Structure 1
Amino acid sequence: MTNVHTNNAGTADVIATPPPGQKRKGRGKTRGLSVQKKLKKSVNGKLKVTIPPDRMVAVGPGAKDFVTELSVTVLHNARHDVKNWKGVSDLAKDRIVAHMLDTFQLPDIQHNRDTILQTAKNLYRYRRSRLHDHFKKFATKEVRLQNMPSQVSEAEWKFLVEYFNSDDFKKMSERNKSNKAKQEVNHICGRKSFQAVSFEARDTNTGKEPNFQKFWEMTLVNSNGHWVNDAFAEVNDKVKEEVAEQIQEIEEGTDVDLIANAAFMQIMREKAGYVRGQGSGVKPASRRSRDEIQEQLEAQQKEIEEERRKRESLERKLIEVKNQLEEEWRSREVMETSLVREQKLLKEGVMALVSHMQRSMNGLPAAIFNIINNSTGSDEASPTSLVDKN
């Protein structure tokens, strides 16, 4: 016997009614209690989180709460009696997006909606993988049906047992296992995503995140200073060599991070859907974006060259002004020397005249003599006194 139960998220689950005395197995009630507590303490009833415009992943202090709440929301809305995430109804996906926009301080824009759904898809696939692990613990269909995991309904588990046992799923599973074995990049940062690590490593003053080459080192060098493997070290050496070669051809002051990123993408190349070594949250650069990086480098070169020309022009003008000032000072010194010499000659001439008048004009009144004598002995009207006062 079955009952239809509507959970807190508004979706209908088919839950088996267990025999008397037996504990019912079905979808359990899962809640992000820590998130709920933070919501009650928040100013506007929403939590903060950052979704950068250039990547489809939440980063920063609120990223953990974002993933936790989204995981609970996916659990309550996305059923597992479908083959994959694509089979989940649009109504369920709309509810997931609406709930996350109501819970976190995020603008309702397409990029944020896409990021929510992409993260929800990853969480759904992760949960589906755990359900498959549970399925593999038991040998027969009957035993598997008897050991239904928590958090799925009877209808969902019956579907999954049939689906996991199908030839199509087995082929897909083997293919995925083979691809997983070929995975080239596994970072050493635990459960944190590549982009969470990059965001936390940004410069505290500029907010700038490490370039691709530095980030490669951060995520693939162990605490003992050794690379995870020699292949990763070889990639790093190639990027460094390429950057060193290009730096020799650029002006001082050019943003080296742009060169490092371009060199990294050229050496690593991009696979469909992601940039190798940067995680699934980074959108791969198109040819257009690579051209934009080249244009930015060229623009920087032009700016640096223009600044160099301006600096040289200013230095020439400063030298000209300095030379003019030195010439004026020399001219002034010559003028002052000439004035002092003329003053001395004038004074000597006046004194000689007075002396001559004293000898030839013994009858000159004393008052007139004193006026002449005082005028020759005073500096008030002398060129030197005038220059000194000025």
Structure 2
Amino acid sequence: MSPFHAIRRNAGLRRVVIVNALYSFISAALAVLVPLYLIDQQVDLAQIGLLLAIAPLTFMILRINFASLADELGTKVIGISYSIINLLSIALYVVSNSILAIALAIFGESIRASAFWAIIRTEIIYESENPKAMLAFLSGVRQLADAFGRLFIGFVLVFLAFQNSFLFLGALSLILLYLTMGSKHETKKPLESVNYHQDVLKKIFKPHPATFWQASLLLGLASLPANMLLAFLIPIYAKAGLGLDYGQVGSLVAIFSFVDAAAVLLFMRWKINVNILLFFTILSIPALFTFPFFGSLIVIPVVISAIGTGCSGILYEYILLDQIYRSKNVSTDIGVLNIPLKIIEVLFLSTSGFVIDQFGYQPLFVILAVATLLFVVFARAFIKRSN
């Protein structure tokens, strides 16, 4: 059954898709809003990189803990928790008047993201009869909502102050909280009955085969370019490097997300095979290498890179599902699989401001191109061996 038919027939799947879309809209809008807010507050690039590095560092530590708790308690309590934390983080941005307050808000955002990503694939696996197709489809839905969020906030900033933009996202977050309360996946086990050492730590540190860690590294290489382009490089380079206005910055990151989403949804609908997906991923490598040389024509590498990240995103979901579909602790294993990615992101973001100050933007784009190249080289052999 195709994802479209499954969603029409299954109310639980529809709720999960709407939660994914709304969450992605809000988080994408914040991903544009926060770096631009920091630039508006005249925070230097080195500090911006260090502040944004808080998110993957916290995410890496908390996600696997939330995931293990979800395996014990169900996903509903985690979903409600991240919705409440999201509201508190946005409130902090509204009243922030110092770097410390902004750092606390970013920390709150990373807790929210940790909890969301700890459970969202688990919910799909529980609800769907064809989780591989649904996970890839949902990746496209998130990117589409991501694009609308970035485009929306870019143009809203032309008319509204930063604080008012944060308030609007806070109102949307109330709707998200209501939707997460509709989850049916919960257990009767009370939180106080969970033995942290027995129920959580043992699952996190259980032994895994070599293929698990090979897949983990591949997932990190697959996700790094899209994550860093959207969360840092495109908005920072467009605003601080090219001097574009807020509407143009929002349009650029929205174009990236729209093209990425279109690549995922169309290639899934056409049932494109692995070799063609890898071919389109390869096309993004020269675009990433030459990104800063396009100047005012930056939309060209943005579009080409987005097609590549969309294709690698489909392969990401295939590789991930291959590792966890027999798992008894799905949420925990997904969290552990993503640890290398978060380590790489922390290193990238924490050093990026210093790299830009000393060498410009080019080295950062080269790093993403090399990550894509390594993914293509090793992914084909890995997927072929897995099949």
TM over 0.5: no
Calculate the TM-score normalised by the size of structure 1: 0.24
Calculate the TM-score normalised by the size of structure 2: 0.24
Q: Name the larger-Rg structure.
A: 1
Q: Which protein has the bigger helix share?
A: 2
- Higher relative CO (Cα under 8 Å, sequence separation at least 6) belongs to 2
